[in-house]
Amino acid sequence: MIKPDRVVSSTCPYCGVGCTLQLHVKDDFIFKVTSPFDSPVNQGNLCVKGRFGYDFIYHPKRVTTPLARRYLLEGKPKPKGREQVFAVSKDGKPIPDSQISNDWDWVETDWDTALNLVADNLVRIYKRDGSDSMAVYCCAKATNEDNYLLQKMYRALFRTNNVDHCTRLCHAGSVVALQQAVGSSAMSNTASQVIMNDVFIVTGSNTSENHPIIALQMKEAVQKYGAKCIVIDPRRIDLVDMAEMWLPLKPGTNVPVFSAMAHVIVKENLVNWEFVKNRTEGFNEFVESLEKFTPEYAEELSGVPAEDIRKAARLYAGAKNGAIYWGMGISQLSHGTASALALIHLAFLTGHIGRDGTGLNPLRGQNNVQGASDMGSMPFHYPGYMRVDNEENRAKWEKLWNIEEGGLSLKLGLTTTEILSHAHEGGVRSLFIMGENPMMSEPNLNVVREHMKELEFLVAQDIFINESGAFADVFLPATPFAEKDGTFSNTDRRVQRVRTAHPPRGLSRPDWQIICDLALRIESRLGVDSAHWTYTNPEEILREMGSVNSDYAGITYERIEKVGLIYPVPSLDHPGTPTLFKDDFPRGKGKFHVLDYVPIREEPDDEYPFILTTGRLLEHWHGGTMTRNSALNEAYPEARVEIHPADAEIHGIRNGDPVKVSSRRGEIVVRATVTEKTSIGVVFLPWHFAEAAANLLTNDALDPQAKIPEFKACAVQVFPAREKDLAHPDVVVNRGRY
């Protein structure tokens, strides 16, 4: 039995649950991960990713030395043929071939050279083309401190709000809806409060695979405490087996189903009139707009029986403590904001918000997507969700960052999806990507590839060269969670410590140190000496941010040494705030909104008869940069498309057959899984697999308010693969070719 040299407490780098990890280290190598039973987040439980998915840290493909293209190091002009650089070999590095000049080769270099190249080129483009030419992707996998510094660098030095991260691609619809309705965008309660529910709704969330520890708590609420669960989802997810009701709606029909539930609550006088009168506004106009949303109308659109809609509405409205938990099946639609608003209305009508065991609870996808948003990694907000187009807010950050009055930009920045679509002459010319992978996470990837080629200068700061890093001019090797200190903020709003378990591998450096070093070089080239960049540790960074963002004002590393704090924590003696909105909402009164039904942008037809919906798997995470470089990949090594047995029989598809899935934007070849887990007319694809990327197929139609793409619904065709499809060099299954 191996005895560790030390056991280091940290926080899981995967989903938004934020489980406590104990990293068992021997000879600077993590050989085991456990979790303490007294953890308030996960009570000792871990999913397969948390317990076994740490080995990517030691994968031979990990980059631990700065890299630059040969042409940069030799001072040559950028050569043509960039489109070939997307080809990536199995060792993770771009393939030089006869069509690529040797100038495109990666060359290992030192940090001074790499950072000077980055600073020189960023400043050159900024001086030539101005603030609008600069853009940055922050990272939901990185720490709060990393993200605060990167958005600060671009706002303070390049005077641009072209700052975003993957929240635009996951819960942007939820964020906008919650801001409009209550004035706050985070979960109102904590996931562990589900055991206080007597009725709860789970919708648009395959919780058992995406947030497994929260799913355990939901099952405990039902099996031990007698709660009743209502699942509203197109797929027969694991939670259906213990649910009181399952409403299998057609993808994209959230608004009519939720509005029909609201219709029932109003018509049957199940409204909490005291709450509506005292704590909301806009009710009368909202009720008028509900008239057409009868259960029968919703049944016609969604396929959910009208009587089931009535039963679900009565069950939720009649609860003592009702709560709603939702995922990206709500937000990732061209009407994602309206979908989330329709859920919020149910809580307003019943008063199931502002008390323990109730609430509106969007389950955040990545480990620190909540924190990255809190840190201002968005084009419309400074840290603390302070609008960038507000002069009073601007003045606060100018004072903190020692910037002249009026120096920061009031112009709203470009979102993630807009940044790349503006990559052209006269638009965005340089992009800095920290830990994100748009070549996997953006919709309609064939178009994204063309946008990536239009960038004049691209920097990737990451641990592996992924599909996006293959386009980079300079690669800066960062450290994963186990090789740096900082904090993550989980889906509960709980701020927790991340700790160094062993030194960085090779020459890799923590993100915050890379950013500070680069910022100083940029300042010297710009001839300024304003914002502070010489921090001695990450806690100084968090305290700086908290000096203006009152939600974090009372959070210190000492206070979260053993257990995290749930913000808002406005002072050093404040205990934290697990339940929000007990007395009022940040915007004053909660606002009802008039909604209409807007269909998905691409309905199925004779040519493309199926609706494709996408999502995640238990064994994998996000674009696969971490789990596909882990032994977890052996557990689920290939993408598969799920198809209902009735559809499979009509199309002559058997379980395990290779099939071609095509949309108006692209096509892939994968094996089929014939299963009743999906509904008739609906197919499901996971999106973690670069060799069968689901986002080659997805629609880039955007929600007009949140600017989030419609990942959850597009029209596709599925039919048995032909010989010429199987011979295509991009067809990879089980990591080997057909």
User: Could you tell me which residues come within 8 angstroms of residue 650 by beta carbon, excluding any fewer than 6 positions away?
Assistant: none
**Residue 98: what pLDDT?**
47
Cβ–Cβ under 8 Å, residues 207 and 215? yes
pLDDT single digits (tens) 706-719:
889 998 999 999 99
pLDDT single digits (tens) 307-335:
999 999 999 999 999 999 999 899 989 99
**Residue 735: what pLDDT?**
28
Cβ–Cβ under 8 Å, residues 547 and 148? no
In the numeric block, which tokens belong to residue 523? 């300042």
Rounded-to-integer distance, Cα 21 and Cα 51, Å: 8
Rounded-to-integer distance, Cα 515 and Cα 705, Å: 32
Cβ–Cβ under 8 Å, residues 494 and 96? no
**Residue 99: what pLDDT?**
52
pLDDT class of 82 with cuts at 50, 70, 90: low
The CA-atom distances, in angstroms, between 565 and each of 257, 489, 490, 558 are 37, 9, 10, 11
**Residue 20: what pLDDT?**
97
Q: Which residue has the tokens 């994209």?
A: 252
Q: Find the mean pLDDT for residues 622-646.
A: 92
- DSSP for 136-158, written as a single string: EE--TTS-HHHHHHHHHHHHHHH
- pLDDT at residue 736 tops 50: no
pLDDT single digits (tens) 267-305:
999 999 999 999 999 999 999 999 999 999 999 999 999
**Residue 169: what pLDDT?**
75
The bridge status of strand 486-489 relative to strand 494-498 is: antiparallel
Cβ–Cβ under 8 Å, residues 291 and 368? no
pLDDT single digits (tens) 480-526:
999 999 999 999 999 999 999 999 999 999 999 999 999 999 999 99
Q: Which residues pair with 322 in a beta bridge?
A: 199
**Residue 565: what pLDDT?**
98
Cβ–Cβ under 8 Å, residues 362 and 187? yes
Q: Find the mean pLDDT for residues 172-196.
A: 93
| Interior/surface letters 457-493, b for 16+ CB within 10 angstroms, e for the rest | bbbbbbbbbbbbbbbbbbbbbbbbbbbbbbbbbbbbb
pLDDT single digits (tens) 220-257:
999 999 999 999 999 999 999 999 999 999 999 999 99
- pLDDT at residue 83 tops 70: no
Between 172 and 350, name the one with better pLDDT. Answer: 350
Torsion of CA 294, 296, 301, 307, to 10 degrees: 110
**Residue 84: what pLDDT?**
45
Among 369, 349, 437, 499, residue whose Cα is nearest residue 625 = 437
% of the chain with per-residue pLDDT over 70: 95
| Interior/surface letters 66-88, b for 16+ CB within 10 angstroms, e for the rest | bbbbbbbbeeeeeeeebebbbeb
Rounded-to-integer distance, Cα 137 and Cα 467, Å: 15
Q: Which residues pair with 228 in a beta bridge?
A: 199
pLDDT class of 722 with cuts at 50, 70, 90: confident
Rounded-to-integer distance, Cα 102 and Cα 32, Å: 43
pLDDT class of 110 with cuts at 50, 70, 90: very high
Q: Find the mean pLDDT for residues 101-119.
A: 93
Average pLDDT, the chain: 93
DSSP 8-state symbol, 562: S
- Cα angle for residues 179, 301, 258 (degrees, 5° grid): 35
Where are the extended beta strands (E) located within 283-394? 322-326, 359-362, 381-382, 386-387
- pLDDT at residue 94 tops 70: no
Rounded-to-integer distance, Cα 16 and Cα 132, Å: 32
**Residue 101: what pLDDT?**
65
Q: Find the mean pLDDT for residues 104-125.
A: 96
- DSSP for 444-469, written as a single string: SHHHHHHHHHH-SEEEEEESS--TTG
pLDDT class of 81 with cuts at 50, 70, 90: low
Cβ–Cβ under 8 Å, residues 184 and 580? yes
**Residue 422: what pLDDT?**
96
Amino acid letter, 695 = N
Q: Is the dihedral of CA 440, 443, 447, 450 positive or negative?
A: negative
**Residue 100: what pLDDT?**
56
- pLDDT at residue 80 tops 60: yes
> How is the chain split among helix, strand and coil, in percent rounded to 5?
35, 20, 45
Q: Is the bond leading into 568 cis (omega within 30 degrees of zero)? A: yes
Which element (helix H / strand E) includes 199? strand 199-203
pLDDT single digits (tens) 542-578:
999 999 999 999 999 999 999 999 999 999 999 999 9
Q: Is 536 exposed, middle or buried (0-12, 13-18, 19+ CB in 10 A)?
A: exposed
Rounded-to-integer distance, Cα 441 and Cα 662, Å: 18
**Residue 194: what pLDDT?**
96
Q: Which domains does the chain have, with CATH numbers?
A: 6-58 (2.20.25.90), 112-167+368-556 (3.40.50.740), 172-362 (3.40.228.10), 610-737 (2.40.40.20)
